[in-house]
Structure 1
Amino acid sequence: MEAHLVLSLARYPVISFGTGSQVRLPGPSISQPNVFPFNSVTYDAMYNQLKNQDARLYTANGLLNMLDRNRHIKGTPERWQDWKIGVPRLEDSGAIPGPGPDGRHAQGEGIKEGVVDVVITCEERCWDAVVDDLTNRLQPLNKSVHVINVDIKDNHEEAIVGGKGILDLANMLTEAAKEEREKAGELFERGSVDARVPEVLGKWQEKWPGLPAIWTVGYF
């Protein structure tokens, strides 16, 4: 959610998802996690439940602070596998971070069409889950999407660094899209931007060697 926040503040259209079967948060012990369903329980409800359960514990471990941040970013945690691709989400301001087809990023046209250009995950198992899900959906729209994993350790400090790195990647991809549009004018096609993604990722990785990345192309 740190990347979601950073990109939103930079006026990028963003939606975010989890990939597990349920939302799992630390509990009073390793064997007693707090478990919530995706798509139905709000961050606000989760915050209040844990605050009432043990405010001292969940303040000390940072969980209440995280949930308080999350509930001011979006209402409910969503699961990627439940996202209905191709169905417009007109209530959203936009899409998962990435340049639009014209190189601009504040319009949210992709999500109005129910698709996105770029998916960024922050853990390799999540990247695997997204790639597997795209394959299992049998690509009904035949629309390509770049799936990039930026590996970030699961702690507050690393999340802040990772968020800055992901914002820089979004900026570099958007700049490449703008350059291609300016060169092509009315003849612009998205394929020219797609072809530059490996080049952009290579330059970005040189700037952010502490954030190892992997990339593939999937299809909706």
Structure 2
Amino acid sequence: MSVVCEGNVCRLVFPIDHWTQAIMQDELKFAVVCSSNMNRSMEAHAVLSRRGYQVKSFGTGDKVKLPGRGNKPNCYEFGVSYKDIYNDLLEKDKEYYEKNSVLNMLMRNKTLKPCPERFQDSTDRFDIIITCEKRVFDQVVEWFVLKKPEQNKPVNIINIDIKDNLEEATLGSYLILDLATKLTESSDYKKELHSILKAFQRKCRKHVSDCIMFY
């Protein structure tokens, strides 16, 4: 830390840390995608955004689904706010949804963005899309296959299988952070992607799928 004075105004200047420097070197745009944009993608969204990465998160399902009593899920449309979903579950059964940590998850989510978003409805463009299960990976790839490329801009789609529970979502978010760090620190991630993923797969002991599609 140092002090810089300009005229009568002095300000503290903090050194650029490892994470910030990596982002400044190559500002990749990341998307993290799961089924409902509730648990796995939002946990990774939170972790990556705290590190300064350009990241958005999405779901690919027809509905947003949350666990309910008796194996009957609570279903909502994409676009219904996390706040409204929180209030709905609070009214239905506060004790149950506090106990299974769904209310805490929704509290976290609404600090990051207003509502769950569906990937297929997004007009954003990304350099890297990371999916959290093979079925979601297939849905994202299918969307690109059915969509006629307009810009011929490549995007790398990478899948890491993460179980849809709170503990695995937390662990998975740091795996995604580790991969994002390796890609960002690479001098040319497109040329080095194969070796990066191979080393990552050995380290995390999870099967990793990847492909290139085009916007």
TM range (shorter): 0.7 to 0.9
Whether 2:20 is the aligned partner of 1:8: answer no
| TM-score between both structures, scaled by the size of structure 1 | 0.76
The 2-side partners of 1:29 and 1:215 are apart by 36
Off by >4 Å, runs of 4+ in structure 1: none
The 1-side partners of 2:138 and 2:86 are apart by 29
User: 1:72 is paired with a residue of what secondary structure?
Assistant: helix
The 2-side partners of 1:122 and 1:6 are apart by 15
Map 1:64-103 → 2, pairs under 5 A = 64-84=103-123
User: 2:58 is paired with a residue of what secondary structure?
Assistant: coil
Q: Indicate the structure with greater strand content.
A: 2
Q: Could you give the per-residue CA deviations for residues 160-216 of structure 1, whole angstroms, max 9, x where no partner exists?
A: 11111110100000111xx24xxxxxxxxxxxx31211111111112211x321111
User: 1:161 is paired with a residue of what secondary structure?
Assistant: helix
Whether 2:18 is the aligned partner of 1:18: answer no
The 2-side partners of 1:206 and 1:153 are apart by 19
The 2-side partners of 1:33 and 1:200 are apart by 38
Match of 2:167 among 127, 149, 157: 157
Q: Which residue of 2 aligns with 1:212?
A: 207
User: 2:59 is paired with a residue of what secondary structure?
Assistant: coil
Q: Which runs of 5+ in 2 are unaligned?
A: 1-41
Q: Which residue of 2 aligns with 1:89?
A: none
Q: CA deviation at 1:43?
A: 0.3
**RMSD across aligned C-alpha pairs, in angstroms?**
1.1
Q: Which residue of 2 aligns with 1:169?
A: 179
Q: Which runs of 5+ in 1 are unaligned?
A: 85-113, 181-192
> Aligned letter for 1:64?
L
Q: Could you give the per-residue CA deviations for residues 4-59 of structure 1, whole angstroms, max 9, x where no partner exists?
A: 111011110111110001101112222x32111012x1001100110111101111
Aligned sequence identity (%):
43
Whether 2:153 is the aligned partner of 1:147: answer no
Larger-Rg structure: 2
